[in-house]
Structure 1
Amino acid sequence: MKKRRHHYVWRNYLRSWSDNEQIWCVRNKKVFPTNLMNIGQERDFYRLNELTKKEVSFLTLLLNQHSSEAIQKLNHGWMELFTAVFQIREQVNKHELSDGAFEAEIEKQIINLGEDFHCKIEEGAIKFLDGLLDNGTNFLADEDNAIEFIYYLCVQYFRTKNIKESAASSVSELDLLDVDKAWNILSHTFSTALAWSIYAERSQWSSVILENHTSFPFLTSDQPIINTYAAFGKQVKDHDELEFYYPLSPEKALLLTKKAEYKDMPSKFLNELEASGYNDIMINMSHEQIYSFQKEQLEMYVQKYNKMLNRD
């Protein structure tokens, strides 16, 4: 069966803000309740696209720029995975062996493969999210768990519509690659490269559970993992300007940071100013949608946003 609703925000993740599969959402300054199936998704978002020879050559050149041969090999594997279906179809058609059933199966794989792969990554991450919600980061001491979880975080960061459109905008003038066509490959290669960088420097990173028991519960959005250094239009230029903030529920969030003040700090209880500040960053870094389990909280932020516009 073809899966046409492709979620770029994991539904299971959003359940921490939902009640009976219903969640409060704000879009275009309108606050409304909706089902989890209807948000953070787009029809055929992960649909595979056949690349031209020019695009394949450019991608190959791009992947070969990484300093690690191991990462080059992994990233070429992503390109092979997401282009194989078109090569198979080309060979079958070349030998005139195609029929209706074959074409139907090829079309199903073109539509489903990207979404199915994200589902597998998400299934593997359930144990990590459950552990984090119980204030546990001990699993990161195990190398295999650390690799899997860091990769999961990077995938959730790069998989979204927001990052996809930002990437497309940044290379549009080069006219060497249609980012929309190649996004399944690019998002996983970016995730792999960043995850390797974080893993290689893992002794410098701290995983901190942020506890929020204030009157400003954590919000989340259609860009649920954010780099706090990039908030409010700041241009990130330095390798070390990376700090992942990832709300896990209205009461808990994960901060992955290199800042010395968090060294050997497993958790931190936030005050109202700090909790509100993280929500402001989440709103600023969102793309189209912001989520809460409280209608009133979203209405408050819409009102605050309108007042800011009126002052400007």
Structure 2
Amino acid sequence: MTTRRQHYVAQMYLRAWSTPTGKARQLWSLRRGSLAPFRTDTKNVAVERDFYRLTESLPDDIKWVRSVAFAKKGNAELQKLNEGWIDIFEIFWSLQKLRDQFPKSVELIAELDRQLIERQENYYSEMENSAVENLAALQGGNVSFFSDDHQAVAFSFFLMAQYFRTKKMQDNMQQQFESDADVARFNRAWPILRDIFATNTAFSIFANRATAPLQVVTAPAGLQFITSDQPVINTYAAFISETTPVKDAEIYFPVSPTHAVIISGHAAYKGINGKELDSFRVHYLNQAMEQAAHDQIFASTEEQLQIVGKTFK
């Protein structure tokens, strides 16, 4: 059966803010513009029908992707990886062309259509499964896995995939284009761009891990970290206009109500791994998450959402 309800925030991630209710897992949610938090199942948030469905490219789309996402004098290995993304997507586009060649083959058309709908959904599911142990370590305050190069590369990519896979990122990127033709081309190319941008930024995180290390911080008693439908954010971009270019990055990723990841070279976070933040800093990070959210913010309790809910408009 084809998976049509596709999540752009992993349910396995939101599980940390949820509690079991029968067979379901529920968390507290607040929609932008509302003052009333509500409880809901994790399966009902950050989800859209056929969100990851692939559409056929046109001849100039790949050339445009390279012009947008490839640096002219970029790292050769990085460009090789990104060419690999293009090769993978061209295989799936060829499937769509194959489907069109056999209009009377009902079973073949159904199977190819399922592949086009589920390709990225299944890909993200596999990625989430591979990150379970790393997330559990971070939720326990342990960052030791990041000292292993292989695990550091894999988790850096996982992290940035969570950043770019969301509805918020798709809409923000789309809004940069004005004409119907440019928007249509972006929609066709975004599945490739999403992976290429994740690869590029993950490479930066890995390459700069000595000066901007991955650290885990904790919330003090009585306070919790919230999260949202944009769970990985750049705090430097949280409080400015979405059209303002931001050159630097400080990655923030809450992994549970009590623990959060910071990747930053800022002096304020130097040597802070494993330490408890003061209440001012927790409020600041929650406000940054609220500002960066697309449509919903999430917490494990109603009270935590009421603290920031008045400004979530």
TM-score (norm 1): 0.90
Q: After TM superposition, what 4+ stretches of structure 1 lie above 6 angstroms from structure 2?
A: none
Q: Would the alpha carbon gap of residues 61 and 174 (structure 1) be closer, same or farther in structure 2, given more than 3 Å must change? A: farther
Q: Are the counterparts in 2 of residues 63 and 72 from structure 1 also a CA contact under 8 Å?
A: no
Q: 2:9 & 2:176 partners in 1: Cα distance?
A: 23
Q: When you count helix as a share of all residues, which structure comes out higher?
A: 1
Tell me the residue number matched to 1:159: 165
1:294 aligns with 2:301: yes
Partner of residue 47, structure 2: 41
> Is residue 55 of structure 1 aligned with residue 64 of structure 2?
no
Alpha carbons 2:236, 2:246 under 8 Å: kept: no
Q: Deviation digits for residues 193-217 of structure 1, max 9, x if unmatched?
A: 1111221222211222111023231
In structure 1, how many angstroms separate the alpha carbons of the residues matched to 2:282 and 2:68? Answer: 40
Whether 1:268 aligns to 2:272 is no
Cα RMSD, aligned residues only: 2.1
Q: Distance in 1 between matches of 2:30 and 2:10?
A: 18
Structure 1 residues 203 and 38, CA gap change in structure 2 (3 angstroms): same
8 Å CA contact 2:286, 2:308 repeated in 1: no
Determine which of 222, 229, 232 is the counterpart of 2:236: 229
Q: Is the 8 A contact 2:215 2:262 kept in 1?
A: yes
C-alpha change, 1:59 and 1:142, in structure 2 (3 Å) is: same
Match of residue 146, structure 1, among 132, 142, 152? 152
One-letter amino acid matched to 1:194: T
Letter of the structure 1 residue corresponding to residue 92 of structure 2: V
Q: Distance in 2 between matches of 1:172 and 1:77?
A: 29
1:217 touches 1:251 (CA, 8 Å); kept in 2? yes
Structure 1: which 5+ residue stretches go unaligned? Answer: none
Q: CA deviation at 1:92?
A: 6.6
Q: Does 1:23 align with 2:27?
A: yes
Kindly tell me: are residues 236 and 97 of structure 1, through their superposed partners in 2, closer, same or farther at Cα, counting changes over 3 Å? Answer: closer
Residue range with higher mean Cα deviation, 122-131 or 169-178 = 169-178
Q: TM-score of the superposition, structure 2-length normalised?
A: 0.90
> 1:275, 1:220 → 2: CA distance?
12
What letter corresponds to residue 246 of structure 2 in structure 1? K
Bigger drift between 58-67 and 124-133 goes to: 58-67
Give the SS at the match of 1:249: coil
Q: Assess if the C-alpha contact under 8 Å between 1:215 and 1:272 holds in 2.
A: no
For 1:106-255, list aligned pairs within 5 A: 106-172=112-178, 175-176=181-182, 178-233=185-240, 235-238=244-247, 241-255=248-262
Corresponding position: 1:305 with 2:311? yes
**Cα distance in 1, alignment partners of residues 212 and 155 from structure 2:** 14
Provide, for residues 206-253 of structure 1, a one-character-per-residue CA deviation record: whole Å limited to 9, x for no partner: 222111023231110000111000011253432xx1011111111111
2:16 is aligned with 1:9: no
Whether the 8 Å contact between 2:6 and 2:121 is mirrored in structure 1 is: yes
Deviations 1:63-111 (A, max 9, x none): 44351222222112212222312213425755x5972221111000011
